[in-house]
Amino acid sequence: MTRPEDIARPTLERYQRHLFLKREKNGAPLSATTQASRVTPIRKRFRRLTRNNRVLYNPAADLDLPKVEERLPKHVLTIEEVERVLNLPDTTTALGVRDRAMLETLYSTGIRRMEIIGLLQRDVDCDRGTLMIRQGKGKKNRMIPIDDRALARVARYRDEVRPELAIAGDDSTLFLTVTGQAFSDNRMTQMVRNCVRAAGQGNIGSCHLFRHAMATQMLENRADVRFIQAMLGHADIKTTQVYTRVSIRALKDTHSATHPARLTRATLRPEDEPPPTVADLLEALDAEAQVEGETEEWGEFTGVVKMAPCVTEFRGRKMGTSYEKDVVAWANEQAALLRAGKFSALDIEHIAEEIEDVGKSERRELASRMAVLLAHLLKWQYQADRKGASWRATIREQRRALAEHLLETPSLKRSLTDEHWIRKTWADAKSQAIAETDLDVFPDACPWSMEQALDEGFLPD
């Protein structure tokens, strides 16, 4: 196929199955993140082609991405651990002054590696106590506070050390290497990692450690999650659209009141509303790259997304987001109303639709995994000369996942005896087997019961 219009939905589904079944050199399957990274550009490409009338329909419109496991970091630095790292550079030397300024900036602001590398001298406003982040992740600008301690370190570096380092053509980059150039990604990572290791923390990470630490500690000090989002430059946590904006004045006040480098502590959230957990925030931090990538594309596709007019208030927060405009914000509001017992305000019709969709999604996953299992059993039987550890591993993994799925959702067991479901699943399994073997000799009906296919000791002769 050489033209986009030649690609149909079945072709994309076969590609997804190929990714699902593909194995690394060590025999391990591709991670969900890797699979998603291969499929996401295809979805974006077809979205643009459809918008520009290059293709009549979008075959990737409803193409599901694999669920990416949300992994929390193994270690989040405590305040004491952060201070040990910050105190490590020798500030009697020029490079020690520079390194301390960079570490303080990372911790005070929580900015990303690419953002600290890209800082210019004019981005630091000592009078206002702010940093301007230009073209951060997602090509978005934002202004954020920087505390007095970090600002003093940066000012000393800029006034005393930077002029000595600016031996090459000066492009106004704030932090320079000994050769007068901007830091590369690897060089910045290595500098921070060396400090972390020397402080006795081991090989646990680099620049992002300070981002996690700042966000976690501010949240533990009861900062409103909206302000932390603004500091981090995130889209709304666990959503892919609608940015929550706050003023720089309010953001500075919150930063002063909740950052661990400050002495002041303030409660910014009503007592009757439990604050987000540290795990909630860390999940969002680890998922930010994928979330913001999707947000960027959808923002381009749909135009500017605005919140629908709000008609009620709950816990001082306006409610009434349209289901069609922002389903995630709508879901959060409905959950809050349910917990508060405000049943008359619920959007019952759409809640029912969402609950039904959950059931459909679970059934689709069951059918998809069963089809992969059956296809491999067919390959095992009809291509005996090609049997190998990879096929056996896939069969074992699908059986394990199916058993776990059925254990978590017992009502799905009814599908295993549903003739219509079995026929559809078998047809899908045959299609996979034919595509992967170039054989067309498989029986029209499944020769095994679903119970037999799930039996760990069963392999067809």
Could you list the active site residues? 112, 137, 208, 211, 234, 243
Distances (CA, A) of 255 to 100, 147, 213, 426: 20, 8, 14, 58
Is the Cβ–Cβ distance between 241 and 298 less than 8 Å? yes
Residues forming beta bridges with residue 386, ordered by sequence position: none
For residue 187, the one-letter residue type is R
C-alpha R_g of the chain: 27
Indicate the helix (H) or strand (E) that contains 133.
strand 130-133
What token pair was written down for 101? 């300024």
For residue 249, the one-letter residue type is R
What token pair was written down for 251? 């953001």
Q: Residue 94, CB half-sphere, CA atoms under 13 Å: how many? A: 13
Cβ neighbours for 103, distance < 8 A, ≥ 6 positions apart: 85, 86, 89, 192, 195, 210
Residues forming beta bridges with residue 131, ordered by sequence position: 124, 144
